[in-house]
Amino acid sequence: MKFKQLVLASHNAGKLKELQAMLGDAVQLRSIGEFSQVEPDETGLSFVENAILKARNAARISGLPALADDSGLAVDYLGGAPGIYSARYANGKGDAANNAKLLDALKAVPEAERGAQFVCVLALVRHADDPLPILCEGLWHGRILHAASGDHGFGYDPLFWVPERDCSSAELSPSEKNLLSHRARAMAILRQRLSLEHE
């Protein structure tokens, strides 16, 4: 199963760069932005449903096999919220507003109850009506800090404490993050599925 090109169902340049670095040179990742600026409605109730929905939409628009990433932050104390609504947690007002809302929601919560995980589901469809999407899930466990720390990354990275590195996700170098993150874990599974390791 070899793909020379995949269209990524995202307009996020940071995500495109991150996933291309993880995929390596064997596959060229193109942005859906080359084909359309319209975002599909994410009507699913899970990361899996939304990833498949986005991948099918990208394949339909581009005519290429498509890869979609649906990811977010699931905080234990909040019953898994913000979850699939992570990017629009603060009504679409951006990363800073999302982070502020999360800190507010957890302001009285003690250290031991601030566990969280970044979740990534990758869905790859060969064509828009593919009955057997390839699904890969990655989880990255940590906890939520009381204040932002670090300048790298995006989204909730400044609030996400990485126990194995004793720092926030936003304090990791991009190359370190690309080894540890939820996307890295999901992508490692996808690379195995696509047999890219030995090319």
The amino acid that residue 111 corresponds to is E
Q: Which alpha helices (DSSP H) does 24-161 contain, by range?
A: 47-62, 95-105
Per annotation, catalytic residue among 41, 69, 70, 130: 70
- Contact 100/90 with Cβ under 8 angstroms? yes
70 a catalytic residue = yes
The tally of CA atoms less than 13 A away on the side-chain side of residue 52 is 13
- Cα angle 96, 36, 1; round to 5: 100
Joined together, the tokens standing for residue 136 give 């890969």
Centre a 10 Å sphere on the Cβ of residue 7 and count the other Cβ atoms it contains.
24
Residue 101, beta-bridge partner list: none
Q: List CB contacts of 97: < 8 A, sequence separation 6 or more.
A: 89, 90, 91
Could you give the residue numbers annotated as active site? 70
